[in-house]
Structure formats: C-alpha cells, structure tokens
Structure 1
Amino acid sequence: MEKLVNIGQSVQIKGELTGNEDLTIEGMVDGKILVKDHSLTIGANGRITAEVHAKTVVIVGTITGNITADDKVEIAPSGTVNGDIRAPRVAISDGAKFKGSIDMDRKGASAQPSASSSAPKASGMSTPRTEMPRSASPSES
C-alpha cells in the first residue's frame, strides 16, 4: 500500500519540503518541494510558490515556480501554472492556465543540463549524419 501524506488547507509551510511518500497539498507552501520518486498533487485549495521536483505532478490548484518531473506533469482544468515545466510527458487540460515554457526531455528530466554538452540539443529529434561526396581535387584530375 502506497503511503500518502496530506497537507491540509489551513497549513502554511515556508522552506524545503522533502519526502519519500506521495504528497497532496491543499495548503500553502513557499520554498522548495522534493519528492523525486513519488507523486505530488496540488489540490484545488493548494497555493504553491516553490521549485518542485517529483516523479509525477498533478496541479488542480495554483503553482508559481518551475516544475521538474521524471515522468509526467498534468494540469487539470482548474489548475494554474506560472513557471517552466521540464518533463518527458505533459498534459494540459482544456480550461487550465499555463504561462511559461515546456521542455519535454525523453531521457527523463534532470534539474541541471549535463556539463559535458557544449551545444544545445533539440529534444525529441534526431538527425542522421550523412557524408557528402568530396569533389575531385586538382591533383586527382
């Protein structure tokens, strides 16, 4: 049985919130939320101003801040997001409000881009490398 933690409507938290259980927030959180291997649900009464990292994130309430999900972000019809989303799958329902950018990285989301990559890569696209025939040099003529 999955553990589920519920933060009630009257609860206000400032700071960093971490856990190893699924989490539903109906109250207010200001800071950072980390539940990397679990689901985070922002309930209808939830008001979040935070950087978020979870396996899946479902927004029914309001969140201001960037969201990183290793699996999926879903914004319900009553949900509002003001911030950037990074996740391999994103679902925005009709009626939902969203202001920000979306990065759908198929390899899984990570908080920081790889330090070894020097050039930006287009996500979800691959271009085969082809060799062009060389024209004959003057010495070969």
Structure 2
Amino acid sequence: MIEANVHRTLIGKSLIIKGEVTGMEAMHIEGRVEGSIALPGQTITVGRTGQTEAQLTANEIVVLGQVRGNCQASDHLDIRSEGSMSGDAIVSRISIADGAFVKGKIDVRRS
C-alpha cells in the first residue's frame, strides 16, 4: 500500500542529470543520472528506461533499468529480471530475479 502523502521525485525519460543529488524523499529514475545520489532512509527506483552511472545510497534500491556504479542499501537491494547492475554493493538484504544481470562484489552485512 502506498501512502498518499509520500513524496517521490520523478526523473523523466528525457532528463539527464550530472552531479550530486541529495535529499529526504524517494526518487524514481526513468532518465539518466551521472554522479552520486544519496537519499538516506528513502527508496531509489531505477525504472525500465532509467540509467545511472552513479554511486547510489539509500534505504532501498530497486533496479529495473541499468545501474553502473556502487550501491549501498541500508535495508534492501532488489534487482528485477529486466535490470542490470555493474558495480559493488553493500546491503543488508538482496533479491536478484532470474534473468537479471549482475557484475561486481556483493557484501551482505547484518545489522
């Protein structure tokens, strides 16, 4: 169930962002982000058309598109069947669906 008052930023298909993104709300990426994204306590979703060449740091990271760079998820990294990730990950929990592409080191740490 999605709460009505949850704030979520959408990076549209035609947008390209270069640099450092920080904040305290969830983000859904359908465009391209290069640099770093730090959203402590929030969720980063890389949509089907989304591409990142960035360091991702969040509570939860969901990958349906393409991630190139390291990921740090304090709770959960979820790589769906159409998603791909090239980079190292530090997580508490991880889900990798059949058909997903993953290249890199995965470090699962218990809290």
What is the aligned length? 107
TM-score by length of 2: 0.95
Extract structure 1 runs of 4+ deviating beyond 3 A.
none
**Distance (Å, rounded) in 2 between the aligned partners of 1:78 and 1:19:** 27
Give the structure with the larger strand fraction.
2
**Distance (Å, rounded) in 2 between the aligned partners of 1:17 and 1:10:** 18
Residue type of the alignment partner of 1:34 = A
CA-CA distance at 1:6 after TM superposition: 0.5
CA-CA distance at 1:91 after TM superposition: 0.3
Match of 1:120 in 2: none
Q: Percent identical across equivalent pairs?
A: 38
Q: In angstroms, what is the RMSD of aligned CA positions? A: 0.5
Match of 2:21 among 17, 23, 26: 17
CA-CA distance at 1:4 after TM superposition: 0.9
Match of 1:43 in 2: 47
Matched, 1:63 2:67: yes
Match of 1:29 among 22, 25, 33: 33
TM-score by length of 1: 0.75
Matched, 1:98 2:102: yes
What are structure 2's unaligned runs of at least 5 residues? none
